[in-house]
Amino acid sequence: MDEEDFQWEFLSNGGCERCDAMDGRLSDENPHPRPHPGCSCQIVKRDWGLGTDDTCDEGRMRYTLLDIVAVHHPHTTNQPDEEFDLVHVFAITCPDGETIEADISVSVRYGYEDVDELFEDAFAEALELVEELAASECQTCPAPPEIV
């Protein structure tokens, strides 16, 4: 794997202000030494070269919007009380590197005055649905072994 394909992420365990300030920080180099003696926070290697190895990494979960297609119902006259569907085509990248393509359909009414608001509302609903789908279809990573 190329060095550019990953970064190190510092994950605080909530033990001190110094570590909490570093929580979520990404670095191109392994952040050693630790912020203080006895630090028990995690430093996780995040693989951004998705699918390049067989490790499972919860940080890999990605939703990529590939397309949005408007599907009009037959026999509609585009009146404000009628509906059409906005189909959001997503690629879901699961933590284990598997990719699932999903068509998420959201029904909307023709009467929206603000088209940007229509797309924002529909996208928010589609994102909730794709997250639910990913939770049910993607396998979760097994818990890491406890280090004692």
**65-123 tens-digit pLDDT:** 888 888 877 776 767 678 889 999 988 888 877 888 999 999 988 877 887 888 888 88
- The CA-CA-CA angle for residues 97, 100, 103, to 5°, reads 155
Task: State yes or no: pLDDT of 3 exceeds 50.
Answer: no
**What's the CA gap between 50 and 148, in Å, rounded?**
30
pLDDT above 90 as % of the chain: 7
Supply the pTM of this predicted model: 0.54
Q: How many CB atoms lie within 10 A of CB 90?
A: 22
Peptide bond before 33: cis, by omega within 30 degrees of 0? yes
Q: Which amino acid is at 147?
A: I
Task: State yes or no: pLDDT of 52 exceeds 50.
Answer: no
Q: What is the pLDDT of residue 33?
A: 67
